[in-house]
Amino acid sequence: MPPDNALAVRLAARALGRHGLAHAYGHVSARVDGGHFLVSPPQPLGSVAVGDPGVAVPLDGPLPSRALPEVRMHRAIYRRRPDVGGICRFQSPALMALSALGRTPRVLHGLGAYFSPCPPLWPGTALVRDDDSAGAVAGMLGPGRAIVLRGNGAVTAGASLMEAACLAFFLEDAARLEIALLPAAAGGAEPIPYTADEAAQRAVGTGGLFERMWHFLCAGDSEWQLQN
């Protein structure tokens, strides 16, 4: 049974912290209805407390006082993408390193297939804290599942927050693989990216694929254990 929105926010927040996808910064959110979403509180994701209700944010009007300025990116994506039910904003190490080279992960393994041919790279280095910039990030994301922010992590968007959190892990894993292959590529051994058809065939959600990754991400969480 899918978790309710507040529980999903707490579980996803702590999961990203537990698995090294976020440190002091980052935020996750879940769409509540056509006019609102729920975002994690303004604190390190790994420290979100059991039972925390999160911060309700309207799609129109000013941000609530407890919503971090970059939550504008969530709002801009939800406005543009009615198919999106959850968003993760995180800062993971391999993605940071790859983006510093001006690159984003190619489809070199199965988990990278969800971002074929590769996520767009937002070129700006300033924090995205105004509506115009947030709207531009959402526009560059387009219908995709992720956008990498140069030297500043990434944003993933999924049909649910569970899916967005899984995509965050997938994207960092794709970046880890690309970084690991850099020495081989420097020596002339180029990796073989998936073709568009291969990526489309691999980027599936059947067989409990996202559910199993969600289980992996949440295993050991006290609230997850109570629910399962």
Please report, for the chain, the start and end positions of each structural domain, with discontinuous segments joined by +: 5-227
Q: Which long-range contacts (CB under 8 A, 24 or more apart) does 197-200 make?
A: 198/107, 198/113, 199/107, 199/112, 199/113, 199/116, 199/117, 200/113, 200/116
Look at strands 121-122 and 86-90 and give their pairing. unpaired
Sheet of 27-33, strands arranged across? 55-58, 36-39, 27-33, 86-90, 154-158, 146-149, 121-122
Q: What is the mean pLDDT of the chain?
A: 96
- Secondary structure (3-state) at 195: coil
Q: What is the pLDDT of residues 69-93, one digit of tens each?
A: 999 999 999 999 999 999 999 999 9
> In CATH terms, is domain 5-227 a member of 3.40.225.10?
yes
pLDDT value for 3: 64
Percent of the chain at pLDDT above 70?
Answer: 99
Indicate if the pLDDT at residue 1 is higher than 60.
no
Distance CA 23, CA 33 (A): 29
